[in-house]
Structure 1
Amino acid sequence: EDPAVVVLDAGGRWAVSLLSGHEGGANSLAIRVANLLGAEPIVTTTTEALKSVIVGIGCRRGTPAERIVAAVQTALADAGIALDEVRLLASADVKAAEAGLLAAAVALGVPVRFIAAAEIRASLRDFSHSDFVKKKVNLPAVAEPAALLAGRRTRFVCRKKRINGITIALAREGFSWSESAPEVP
């Protein structure tokens, strides 16, 4: 029985599942280590590496993990997407210390990535803007830009929707060898 082995690059940017990925738990360990360090988890197990859905999340400070998990599950079910298709959760970096969001990522078993506020502001993509979000965190939006900017070649599966006070947007990454999800108007 091989032990789970995860390695980090010298800069702490990448947490790589090196040995005993799926069966030995290195894939989930890489995700946990990446979440703790703010690194990118690198998982090459085919069934896990091909996950393509990114869940953008906006929530108020102090929102409990259980409510975030329930909102994510509802949004995924409404879109006909299984949890095992989710590659990561994403939000704005102003939420990086949000206990409920971090705990929701652990409960769902997916990493969370925080997008720099400057990157959201600089993006030329068309997001649904919110005066409330602008007032609270000085950003035009959180869920939609986080969902799109956290991945590569992303397209909306579901633009922002509010579920029990939590804003969720779903995006799918396109792979160069496969069809991308159609853009949602």
Structure 2
Amino acid sequence: MAGEVLRQGAGEVGDLAVVALTPAGKALAGRLAAAWNEAGGSARVYHPSSSLGSLVRTLWGRHEGLVFVMAVGIVVRVLAPLLRDKWRDPAVVVVDEGGRFAVSLLGGHWGGANGLARRVAALLGAVPVVTTATDVQGKTAVDLLARQWGFLPVPREGVKAVNRALLEGKRLVFYTEWQLPAEGEAPPFDRVRPLREGPGPGPGNPEEVPVFVTSREVSPLPAAACCLCPPSLAAGIGCRRGVSAGEIEAALAEACRRAGRRRESLGVLATHSAKLNERGLREAARSLGVPLFFFTSQILQGILDRVPGLRDVEFVRRQMGVGNVCETAALAAVPEGTLVLPKLKLGRVTVALAEAGLLWSASGREMRRI
């Protein structure tokens, strides 16, 4: 379902809940929270008034990261009923009361727990404990790279296969339609090739594993391969009053299919400011994990005047104050955008898709479409 499309995972963990049980643990938790807040993050200390399990259930999903100052065994038992999978669980780090070790327990890559453990350890003068195989071998997992860029890695089984191949010593080759960051986060440049040079359906080099950096559907996708989907698509939406989130999500899925784009690359929904109170739109954006932008008639008219070839419909103008909503809203929502799907009517919803020509990685590095 559309709610499975996640936008978690971009950048470092910034918002923390620090949970402690004993007086010594509370003192250490207070020291960590103070240091974290001083460094520009947001941390709050919690301690259960009665049940630890009840407190953790309340905190689960409300913070990007959870730091427990207590024994690992206690944390494992209290978290067990709440766990879903590596893509949806938050970062969890456990620190002993003596402040000697910071253990990345859960969500090491996609959740950001490995990086969180290292930052917590640095603040406390502790030793970070990271056990994920790629980190132990000094290699960058493909889902960690996706997190650093703010992209979504799919399919999940393909991500596992790619990381497994990486551990076996195979080379990852990136086929991309984006200029990747020039330093720090980038793979070696001898392994970055244009998307059009991607391998065909036949057997490729057995020592190379393809990673496709694109919003496009790659078909057929090799078994040991994955896609890193940039949040580059904007969906401009028009709808009848009272339309449901389900209708909107179904229309978006069909629009992406017809455009040959992956739904995971939807980065923003956009519409006319007259739709400000449409509950279905807000619920659809929340389900997809993307922002919802509202544009006035004046802004949309500016797009209509500037971009050649857009239709100016008199009936729409009488109703909305501008003769084009879907296409202009999509183009207004992304920098240097181009229309990849003109207005498409699907039941009570109309959709247009635009793709950005410019993105920024989670650390602020510029990436342009090529």
TM-score (norm. length: structure 1) = 0.70
What does 1:155-170 align with in structure 2 at a 5 Å threshold? Answer: 155-170=338-353
Question: 2:307 pairs with 92, 111, 125, which one?
Answer: 125
CA deviation vs aligned residue, 1:81-105 (integer Å, no higher than 9, x gap): 1121111111111111111111111
What does 1:63-142 align with in structure 2 at a 5 Å threshold? Answer: 63-123=243-303, 124-126=306-308, 127-142=310-325
Q: Output the amino acid matched with 1:112.
A: L
> 2:236 aligned with 1:46, yes or no?
no
CA deviation vs aligned residue, 1:26-52 (integer Å, no higher than 9, x gap): xxxxxxxxxxxxxxxxxx841339410
Give the CA deviation at 1:131: 2.7
Unaligned runs of 5+ in 1: 7-16, 26-43, 181-185
Q: Distance in 2 between matches of 1:3 and 1:165?
A: 39
Aligned position for 1:154: 337
Give the CA deviation at 1:139: 1.4
Aligned position for 1:24: 90
Give the CA deviation at 1:163: 1.0
Aligned position for 1:41: none
Aligned to 2:241, the other structure's residue is in SS state coil
Kindly tell me the number of residue pairs found equivalent between the two proteins: 152
Q: Output the amino acid matched with 1:154.
A: G
Structure exhibiting the larger radius of gyration computed from Cα positions = 2
Q: Distance in 2 between matches of 1:114 and 1:140?
A: 16
Q: Distance in 2 between matches of 1:88 and 1:45?
A: 19
Are 2:297 and 2:320, in contact at CA under 8 Å, matched by a contact in 1? Answer: no
Q: Output the amino acid matched with 2:327.
A: E
Higher relative contact order (CA 8 A, sep 6+): 1
Aligned to 1:157, the other structure's residue is in SS state strand
What does 1:165-184 align with in structure 2 at a 5 Å threshold? Answer: 165-175=348-358, 177-179=367-369
Unaligned runs of 5+ in 2: 1-11, 17-40, 43-62, 66-86, 92-146, 153-229, 359-365
Aligned to 2:150, the other structure's residue is in SS state helix
C-alpha spacing 1:3/1:151, structure 2 compared with 1 (3 Å) = closer
C-alpha spacing 1:145/1:4, structure 2 compared with 1 (3 Å) = same
CA deviation vs aligned residue, 1:49-70 (integer Å, no higher than 9, x gap): 9410101101111111111111
Cα RMSD after superposing both structures:
3.0
Q: Output the amino acid matched with 1:179.
A: R
Q: Distance in 2 between matches of 1:118 and 1:73?
A: 29
Are 1:66 and 1:104, in contact at CA under 8 Å, matched by a contact in 2? Answer: yes
Are 1:3 and 1:24, in contact at CA under 8 Å, matched by a contact in 2? Answer: no
Q: Distance in 1 between matches of 2:151 and 2:294?
A: 21
TM-score (norm. length: structure 2) = 0.37
Q: Output the amino acid matched with 1:92.
A: H
